Structure formats: C-alpha cells, structure tokens
Amino acid sequence: MFIFALAFFTNAFAIAWKSTKGEKATRIATALTILGTAVIFVAIVARGMSAGRVPWSNMYEFSITGAFAFALAYLFTLRKYDLRWLGIFVTFSVLIVLGTAITLLYRPTAPLVPALKSTWLVIHVSAAIICGGVFLLANVIAATYLILEKYGDNRPAWAAKIPSLDVLDLLSYRLIAFVFPLWTFAVIAGAIWAESAWGRYWGWDPKETWAFITWVGYAAYLHARVTVGWKGRKAAWLCLIAGSTFLFNYVWVNVWGTGKHTYSGL
C-alpha cells in the first residue's frame, strides 16, 4: 500500500516535472509499481498461508488479488506499449481498490463454508479475478481515450507522451479480445461448480445474471468492432458500459444483493 502510494506520487511528480527529469521520475515510478505489485503478491501468499487455503473467498481477498492482477496486467502491457504516462491512473486505481479493501472490507481469515470447498474455487474464482484486473485496465485505457479525444492534437503537457488515440483504441480492443475467452471460461467453470454444489448449472442468481450481462456486453463490443466496424469513441463507450456491469456485479451484488453468491458477511 505504502509503496503504491509512493509510486502514485512519483507518477504525479513525473507529470508535474515533465521536462528532462520527468523521464527519470517515470522510470522510478515504474520500478516502484513493480515493487508494489511484488509486495501485494507477498501479502496474498501470506493471507493464503494464514487461512490455510487459497485466499479467494471474500471481498477483501478478491480485492487485493484483483488489484494485483490489474497491476500485473499493466506491467505486462508495458513490455509492448509505452503506457508509463498512464501510470498515474493505474496507481490511482490500485490505491482506491486497496484502500477500500483495507478500510471497509477487511475480515480476519476464516475457514471455508462447505459449499466453497471445491477445486472449482481455485479455477473459477482465479479466472474471474484475472478477468476483473484486465477488464479494469481495458476500461482505464478506454476512459483515457475518451478524455484525450477531446483535446485532439493539442494535448495538455501531462498527456503529451501517452500513445496516440489509435494505439489506445487498439490496445483496449486487444485486452478485451484476450480476456473475453477467459471470462467465458470463468462463467462456464462457475456453471460446472454450481451444478455440483447447488444442483443446477444455471439459475439466474443475481451474480450469474450480471456475469451474463457482462458477457453479452463484451460480446456486443467484439461484434461491433470486428463485424460492424465500430472504432474509437463508440467502441470506448461500449467498453465502459460493459465494464461498469462488471463493477456493478462486484460491488452491488456482493454488498446489497441477495442470492447464492453471498456467503460470509462480504
């Protein structure tokens, strides 16, 4: 958490000091992001060891693992695309996720209820969390696209080194094309698990319904892009709408929703 805060401030610093020293500061920020991600990883492993199981059974655990998946997806993308000037949004998002997890969602480790005792916990939940991280990254990029589109060629100084609109557009598409099959798999793995735990593979439980809506949303996104040829602004909006259904599913259904996916208080 602390290191991410540091990475965030270094990013902000890099932007403020955009001249020659900005480049150096982004490098430091990226290094700190890598360090921060490694620290979250250690935290996840520690949590798993303290619980004696995979640490994916409540919202606190989903959130820290999701933040890790998101940061990792960002770092992987960095290898091919120079997104370091987006670092400020990325570290800010990680901070928000970790912050809510630690302050609002924290629960001491507890053993699993019987319905969760299954290999599918590892498969279904890890797939869903990775999807969450990559969806979030694709959405951060789509949102950046929409913000920068307004400026056209006269970008403000902080955004001068962010890749061109075309690259952002293509990148958010690539991320979604990569993660869509995984999301499909997560839903199907959930269905197989539901069949053995609840006696039916699909029952329109609120969580299932919203997972389906997200799936439909991104299926529409891929069709709109590949077949109808939507690009740029329209595609970015569709990406954000579909992404918000995922967020809604995660926040609303877990906290205020009812249904079979609500187990131990969050």
Cα distance between residue 179 and residue 232, in whole Å: 19
Q: Taking the CB of residue 101, how many other CB atoms lie within 10 A of it?
A: 20
Location of structure tokens 């120079």: 82
Residue 245 binds another protein, judged by CB under 8 A: yes
Establish how many alpha carbons lie within 13 A of residue 39's alpha carbon, considering only the half-sphere containing its beta carbon: 15
The single residue among 175, 206, 236, 243 that binds another protein, judged by CB under 8 A, is 206
For residues 124 and 44, is the Cβ–Cβ distance under 8 A? Answer: no
For residues 231 and 166, is the Cβ–Cβ distance under 8 A? Answer: no
Name the minimum Å distance from CB 238 to another protein: 9
Residue 167 binds another protein, judged by CB under 8 A: no
Stretch that binds another protein, among 2-10, 94-102, 132-140, 172-180 (CB under 8 A): 172-180
Stretch that binds another protein, among 42-50, 67-75, 132-140, 215-223 (CB under 8 A): 215-223
Stretch that binds another protein, among 16-24, 37-45, 122-130, 184-192 (CB under 8 A): 184-192
Cα distance between residue 72 and residue 24, in whole Å: 22
The single residue among 39, 209, 233, 237 that binds another protein, judged by CB under 8 A, is 209
Q: Where are the alpha helices (DSSP H) in 57-164?
A: 59-78, 87-103, 119-120, 126-151
Q: Which residues contact another protein (rule: CB under 8 A)?
A: 110-115, 117-118, 120, 170, 177-178, 180-181, 184-185, 188, 191-193, 195-206, 209-210, 212-213, 216-217, 219-220, 222-224, 226-228, 245, 253, 257-259, 264
